[in-house]
Structure 1
Amino acid sequence: MWFATLLRRIAALPRLALKALRRSPRLLWRAVKATPRALRLGAKGVWRGTKATGRGLRAAYRGLRAPAGRLSVQVVLTVLALAGALAAGWLVVPGAGPAWSFGTEPTPEAAETPLALSPEGALDAAPAPGLPADTTPVGDILDPTEAATESPTSAATSPAGPTSLDAWAADLSDLGIPQRALVAYGRGELVSAAQNPGCNLSWTTLAGIGATETTHGTIDGNQIQADGTTLTDIIGPIHGEWGPMQFLPSTWEHWKADGDGDGESDPHDIDDAVTAAANYLCHDNRDMSRPDGWYAALWSYNPRDDYVKKVFDRADEYGRKSTT
């Protein structure tokens, strides 16, 4: 059955082909007749589009000539220029810029804690040492011959001494050092000149240590009172260091001193603490006028390169500012 149907369809193929050939010219003729009309319609569409584009351009031109349009152009050009500059900068130096521009917040630096007076350490692989500017306090300076006959305490607490030191400290108020602390540093140099005549210790070094340790006894809102003691005791948070010069308790017991002649040795009294620090720096016959002697003394006070550099920078600054 299906085979017979297939044969009939095959036999009908020539007839269908002839019929399609007869209809093709008609279809072709219709297409040819329709072509001009399509072209005319396409041309009209193009013309209308061109006219619409022209009207849009003229409207845009009029808008740009208006004050608001000119301002808009300036804003757009500025934004594009800034974006281009930032993109170029990122391509040239991808790692440049603040941390927030890369989606990370900078880690806040930890607060600087007081640095303790440490036992003497070895001087291994030390960097090139330095010496603070050579300055001498104005006022009564002990003559070398007087140092052998006059006691340190009487020299430091004589009536002329404090008066001269007060005037000298007042003249150096631009250093940013509390006047009472500056008096203690000046007295420390005078006392050290008598107790350690070959040490040549300058007040600038003592001030550099005081600045680095406790900001001259003013750390955490503290202050030096008229009698030289701090308003509240300064106790180090790590090792329990004492006072404005931050002595370890065991070190203070060995080097404690009475710098103001009141009969007491108090690490929280800046006069006593500065005198003890001077004796510590000058022990082992150190000469602080020599770079290697200065560095060895500060390294023994606290064997850390960053510590020695901080003290040097601050002492040098005090020395330069006090002589200009």
Structure 2
Amino acid sequence: MWFALLLRRLAALPKRALRVLWRALKASGRGLRAAWRGLRAPAGRLGVQVAATALALTATLAAGWFLVPGAGPAWSFGTEPSPEAEEAPLVLTPENAPAAGLPAETGPVGDTTTGAPTESATSPAAGGATDLDSWAQNLAALGIPQRALVAYGRAELVSAVENPGCNLPWTTLAGIGATETNHGTTGGNSIQSDGTTMTEIIGSGYSEMGPMQFLPSTWENWKADGDKDGVYNPHDIDDAVTAAANYLCHGGRDLTTPSGWYEAVHSYNPRDDYVQKVFDRADEYGRKSTV
């Protein structure tokens, strides 16, 4: 029916219009034949594949945008990603030093006349509940694991004998331990009763070792046996903290002076942002422990 109607309408057209229409149809036919020949050529087939791939990719992205609107990059929503906040500039100067905090214990450790520390009832290695254990329990609000806090306090006492004049506070050791490995708990780790970490902590940059993150070469120079078990183990917090204390105090430094404290921590890791982090944490521990 529709075909007969189309023929009648075509017949009603003037001859000149029919000739124009016929030429247009012939031109369209030639265009279609040329396109077909082009598509059969290698270049044509490649073009079709590229176009099909582009259409498929566009359709996939569009479908993903509609199904999961938040899955695309920020620019696809007309918004620019917010830049990460830059770390605050260093505000610490050699004229500042963190609060020292409550001393771990007032009594001497070992024989102060010879300078060689010995085991005593206040040493964690002596076993059982000790004065250091009670001291650490009283500072539980600081959020430092008790076993780590005992190691920091004991290292202060031992350092007072082995490094006279250094005046190293446990808060500085705790500030470094917090900055390096969150007191040996980074990555879900923990410190066991014997002072060793549950699994060895190895840094990703330079194979730093243990809760205080000693470089292998630095450990060889400064290794210590903090718990007197005959083993020098960087993964034992007692050994690592004692070695860190010796390192910080070498060269006759006095850590009660701002410049001496700054120089010591800066030598541990010569970066201003690192020194600032240690300062902030050590100062916080010092202030909270004396409240």
**What interval of TM-score do these two structures reach, taking the shorter chain for normalisation?**
0.5 to 0.7
From the two aligned structures, give the one with the greater helix fraction: 1
Write the deviation string for residues 97-143 of structure 1: whole angstroms up to 9, x where unpaired: xx99970223568xxxxxxxxxxxxxxxx934421212343545217
Distance 1:149 1:307, change over 3 A: same
Give the aligned residue type for 1:166.
D
Asked whether the 8 Å contact 1:134–1:202 carries over to 2, the reply is yes
> Does the C-alpha gap of structure 1 residues 100 and 195 become closer, same or farther in structure 2, counting only changes over 3 Å?
farther
Letter in 1 for 2:189: N
Which deviates further from its counterpart, 149-158 or 206-215? 149-158
**2:189 touches 2:199 (CA, 8 Å); kept in 1?**
yes
SS state at 2:211 partner: coil
Picking from 178, 186, 189, the partner of 1:219 is: 186
Give the whole-Å Cα distance in 1 for the aligned partners of 2:78 and 2:141. Answer: 42
The TM-score with structure 1 as length reference comes to 0.60
Q: Is the Cα contact below 8 Å between 2:104 and 2:156 reproduced in 1?
A: no
Question: Does the 8 A contact of 1:153 with 1:259 survive in 2?
Answer: no
- 2:107 corresponds, among 141, 157, 160, to 141
Match of 2:218 in 1: 251
The equivalent residue for 1:238 is 205
What letter is aligned with 2:247? Answer: Y
Does residue 289 (structure 1) correspond to residue 256 (structure 2)? The answer is: yes
Which structure 2 residues correspond to residues 291-310 of structure 1 after superposition, within 5 A?
291-310=258-277
How far did 1:149 drift?
A: 3.5
d(CA) in 2 for partners of 1:308 and 1:100? Answer: 41
Cα distance in structure 2, aligned partners of 1:100 and 1:303: 42
Amino acid aligned to 1:147: T
Displaced runs of 4 or more, over 6 A: 99-102
Offset of 1:160 from its aligned partner?
9.1
Query: Separation in 2 of the partners of 1:294 and 1:244?
Result: 21
Larger radius of gyration: 1
Residue 151 of structure 1 pairs with residue 92 of structure 2 = no
CA distance in 2 between counterparts of 1:189 and 1:127 reads: 24
Tell me how many residue pairs correspond in the alignment: 210
Counterpart position of 1:104: 80
Secondary structure, counterpart of 1:154 in structure 2 = coil
Q: 1:295 to 1:224 in 2, by over 3 A?
A: same
Mark the runs of 5 or more structure 2 residues left unpaired by the alignment: 1-74, 86-91
Which residue does 2:67 correspond to in 1?
Answer: none
Give the whole-Å Cα distance in 2 for the aligned partners of 1:273 and 1:192.
Answer: 13
* 1:153 and 1:191 in contact (8 A); partners too: no
SS in 2 for 1:148: coil
The 3-state SS of whatever aligns with 2:113 is helix
Between the aligned partners of 2:225 and 2:211, the Cα distance in structure 1 is 15
Residue identity matched to 2:82: P
CA-based RMSD: 2.7
Query: Which residue in the other structure is 2:53 paired with?
Result: none
Distance in structure 2 (CA, Å) of the matches to 1:129 and 1:300: 17
- 1:280 alignment counterpart: 247
